[in-house]
Amino acid sequence: MHGVRLYAGTAGHSTWFSSDLGDHWIHPNSHSGLYTEARVWCFSSHPADPDTLYAGSDMGLFCWSERAQAWESLPSPMADIWSIAQDPNDPRILIAGTRPGALYRSTDAGRHWLQSSTPGVQAFSSVNRGPTRVTQILFDPIDRGTIWAGIEIGGIWRSTDSGLNWTFLDQGLVSGDIHGIAVIRDTDGAKAVLATTNKGLHRSRDNGASWVHETIDSPWQYSRAVQLAPDGRTLYLTNGNGPPGSTGRLLRSEDAGHHWHEIMLPGMLNSTVWCVAMHPANPQLLFTCTNLGQVFRSTDGGTNWTRLPREFGEIRALHWRPAAASNDSSAVAAQWTYR
């Protein structure tokens, strides 16, 4: 299990690193290049570039170099970055999403950015009287060139030209408060897209043209992350009684999300379960967290969990990858970070 680097992005205490599976953490100070009180919303890394980690924050985009052991601020037109993802086939191609909701594209590893066409996207929502924000970006693992974006509170968007132009897809959604997206093979082998909201799960069988609401078998419908495991079959769903909430559940499905059962996390949970972090390099190693800072680890593919001793004030992103020295560049890229 050595050679694993775990990252936690927090709302107000920057980024924490662990090299021993979360038993101990370090908090790089401001001399590392990222202010220690930054709000870090998202991470992205790529197996083909083991030296680099991207972090989106309320202070813009930062890039961590394992060789230099430092953060570099990457100038961009974006100020508050809530989501970022890299093309599985080319780590230099990045799609980033901001608050207020907007989407940007880079083809040179984040050195230059162009805003994508998202006709009709709203900067502010009449629902919560606040700015919209891009909560997830996902490169479609089935249809190359297709990318999905969820905007809170702004609906679901799809690009079929690698992020240049986007189409708004809301037919059948009972809520535009989108939190997470997963692309899967349904039980009959057909492609399906899942989306989580504050009012439960949605499924599309026609590539987003229409959505069907699916009630979760849980006391609460509020859901955050939905993530497909590296085995291509198992799904995880984070659930709770609100943001941040006072308790939550981690759910798992073996039948494309049609049925869910709870995986018991040890101890009393202090808020909604928020993130799930996994990686194809070791499908047995999983991490999950609550919104208010509890972190849990599984080394047997999610069956049993250990509650880690460190608690954070508020976690917004959780991410793990092999350390640079042991990274396998032939591993299949995946999106590991959910908010």
pLDDT by residue for the chain (339 residues), tens only, comes to 457 899 999 999 999 999 999 999 999 888 899 999 999 999 999 999 999 999 999 999 999 999 999 999 999 999 999 999 999 999 999 999 999 999 999 999 999 999 999 998 999 987 877 899 999 999 999 999 999 999 999 999 999 999 999 999 999 999 999 999 999 999 999 999 999 999 999 999 999 999 999 999 999 999 999 999 999 999 999 999 999 999 999 999 999 999 999 999 999 999 999 999 999 999 999 999 999 999 999 999 999 999 999 999 999 999 999 987 544 433 333 333 434
How far, CA to CA in Å, does 49 sit from each of 66, 246, 323? 11, 39, 11
Structure tokens at 274: 């928020």
For residue 96, how many other CB atoms are within 10 A of its CB?
Answer: 27
Q: How many angstroms separate the CA atoms of 38 and 41, rounded?
A: 9
Please give the structure tokens belonging to residue 137: 């970006």
Q: Which residues pair with 226 in a beta bridge?
A: 237
Q: What is the largest CA-CA distance in the chain?
A: 53
Q: Residue 239: what pLDDT?
A: 98
Is the distance from CB of 202 to CB of 173 less than 8 angstroms?
Answer: yes
Phi and psi based region of residue 261 (left: phi greater than 0; alpha: psi -120 to 50; beta: remaining) = beta
Contact 79, 98 (CB under 8 A): yes
pLDDT value for 325? 55
What is the model's pLDDT at position 331? 36
Which residue's structure tokens are 């890394």? 45
Cα–Cα nearest to 169, from 131, 128, 204, 123: 204
- Residues paired with 123 in a beta bridge: none
Could you give the CA distance from residue 320 to residue 180 in angstroms, rounded to a whole number? 18
According to DSSP, residue 225 is labeled E
- Per DSSP bridges, beta strands 295-298 and 286-290 are antiparallel
Task: Give residue 12's pLDDT.
Answer: 95
Please tell me the distance from the alpha carbon of residue 196 to that of residue 176, in angstroms, as a whole number. Answer: 10
> Which distant-in-sequence residues (6+ apart) come within 8 Å of 2 by Cβ?
20
Q: Distance between alpha carbon 189 and the CA centroid of its chain, in Å?
A: 25
Query: pTM for this one?
Result: 0.94
Predicted pLDDT of residue 330: 33
Which candidate, 42, 46, 40, 4, places its Cα nearest to that of 21? 4
For residue 235, the cross-strand partners are 228, 253
Q: Show me where the domains of the chain are located.
A: 4-326
Q: Nearest Cα to 282, choosing from 334, 237, 238?
A: 334
DSSP of 20-77, one letter per residue? Answer: STTSS-B---GGGSS-TT-BEEEEEEETTEEEEEEEEETTEEEEEETTTTEEEEE--S
Predicted local distance difference test score (pLDDT) of residue 30:
86
CATH of 4-326, one of 2.130.10.10, 2.102.10.10, 1.10.3080.10, 3.30.413.10: 2.130.10.10
Token pair in block for residue 150? 């969820």
In the block, which residue shows the tokens 């909560």? 135
Whether the Cβ atoms of residue 256 and residue 187 lie closer than 8 Å to each other: yes
